[in-house]
């Protein structure tokens, strides 16, 4: 584990309109901070702001600034926007989806090791 990159909420979330807007959503067991989780209400993906606890993670679904420089590109590349796993999620797609909800994505994801 010495080579594992440890990410905190502050590494990802650079600003938010109101921290009380953070919500807990279901996540797979073992989900780590910075991984993508599906926000079922919009059928879109957001970044987990916490590690999974009791099957849930915190996310900020609107009005915030997310710094992608703390996120490994692999976390985005392994996410698909369709059920068949044919349409990969891209940073451009994230930015377009985020615009509708006041989410601004800045920076460039870290290169995959």
Mention every residue, 6+ apart, whose C-beta is less than 8 A from residue 67: 11, 12, 13, 14, 106, 107
Rounded distance between C-alpha atoms, residue 27 and residue 17, angstroms: 24
Pairing of strands 64-67, 13-16: antiparallel
Estimate to the nearest angstrom the gap between the alpha carbon of 91 and the chain centroid: 11
Rounded distance between C-alpha atoms, residue 67 and residue 53, angstroms: 23
What does the pLDDT look like over 23-32, one tens digit per residue?
Answer: 999 999 999 9
Domain boundaries of the chain, sorted by first residue: 9-106
Residue 82 has pLDDT above 90, yes or no: no
Residue 112 has pLDDT above 90, yes or no: no
CB atoms within 10 A of CB 87: 12
What does the pLDDT look like over 53-64, one tens digit per residue?
Answer: 999 999 999 999
Report the pLDDT averaged over residues 56-78: 95
Residue 7 has pLDDT above 90, yes or no: no
| pLDDT for the residue numbered 72 | 92
């Amino acid at each position: 584990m010495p080579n594992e990159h440890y990410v905190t909420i502050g590494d990802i979330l650079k600003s938010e309109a109101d921290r009380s807007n953070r919500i807990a959503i279901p996540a797979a067991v073992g989900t780590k901070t910075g991984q993508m989780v599906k926000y079922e209400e919009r059928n879109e993906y957001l970044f987990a702001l916490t590690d999974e606890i009791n099957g849930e993670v915190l996310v900020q679904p609107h009005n915030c600034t997310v710094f992608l420089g703390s996120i490994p590109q692999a976390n985005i590349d392994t996410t698909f926007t369709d059920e068949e796993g044919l349409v990969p999620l891209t940073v451009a797609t994230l930015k377009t989806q985020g615009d509708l909800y006041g989410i601004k994505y800045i920076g460039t994801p870290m290169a995959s090791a």
